[in-house]
């Protein structure tokens, strides 16, 4: 993702989801044998790129997933709900799904994705759809994989 979107995510978490932000900082610090305060004291112009690079490491995969989920559920509930509504998938008020069904037809997924791209920023939609695809390893949506590979606006 772009540094601008990463900074937007970190800023949102820092202001709106303080416990998640603190836990993320501490988790990254622990991976590097640092104290969290060392990271927190960096100015955002240094801290956010450092955090983005740290989250991109394999060791940080589950922590990065948690951070993205917190951002999506906190800042983009409507986008999540719009996608699930378009696919006629039951969900909670915040866009959470208890059990993901088998994949709908590709045409239906493509229409839902087009609706999101018309309403929201392409990069935010891309982050959401990639996270959605990766959230449940037991259910494979090959049609969504194809759409993510074909649509240039959904590349990360």
Query: Mind listing the pLDDT tens digit for each residue in 41-70?
Result: 999 999 999 999 999 999 999 999 999 999
Q: Cα separations (Å) of 142 from 37, 64, 107, 130? A: 43, 23, 12, 12
Confidence class of residue 72 from pLDDT cuts 50, 70 and 90?
very high
Residues 92 and 51 in one domain: no
Residues 64 and 17 in one domain: yes
Q: Is the pLDDT of residue 73 over 80?
A: yes
Q: At what angle do helices 61-75 and 3-16 cross, to 10 degrees?
A: 70
Tally of domains in the chain: 2
Residues 59 and 90 in one domain: no
% of the chain residues with pLDDT over 70 = 99
**pLDDT score of 139:** 72
Residues 105 and 69 in one domain: no
Whole-structure pTM value: 0.87
Residues 81 and 149 in one domain: yes
Residues 54 and 95 in one domain: no
Residues 14 and 62 in one domain: yes
Residues 53 and 82 in one domain: no
Which residue range is the domain that position 109 belongs to? 76-154
Instruction: Identify the domain boundary among 41, 59, 74.
Output: 74
């Amino acid at each position: 993702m772009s540094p601008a979107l990463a900074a937007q995510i970190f800023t949102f978490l820092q202001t709106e989801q303080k416990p998640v932000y603190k836990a993320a900082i501490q988790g990254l610090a622990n991976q590097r044998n640092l104290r969290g305060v060392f990271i927190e004291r960096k100015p955002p112009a240094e801290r956010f790129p450092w955090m983005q690079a740290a989250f991109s490491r394999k060791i940080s995969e589950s922590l990065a997933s948690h951070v993205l989920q917190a951002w999506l559920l906190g800042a983009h509930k409507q986008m999540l709900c719009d996608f699930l509504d378009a696919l006629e998938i039951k969900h909670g008020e915040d866009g959470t799904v208890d059990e993901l069904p088998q994949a709908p037809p590709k045409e239906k997924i493509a229409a839902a994705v087009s609706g999101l791209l018309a309403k929201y920023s392409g990069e935010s939609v891309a982050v959401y759809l990639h996270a959605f695809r990766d959230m449940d390893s037991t259910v494979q949506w090959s049609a969504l994989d194809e759409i993510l590979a074909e649509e240039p606006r959904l590349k990360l």
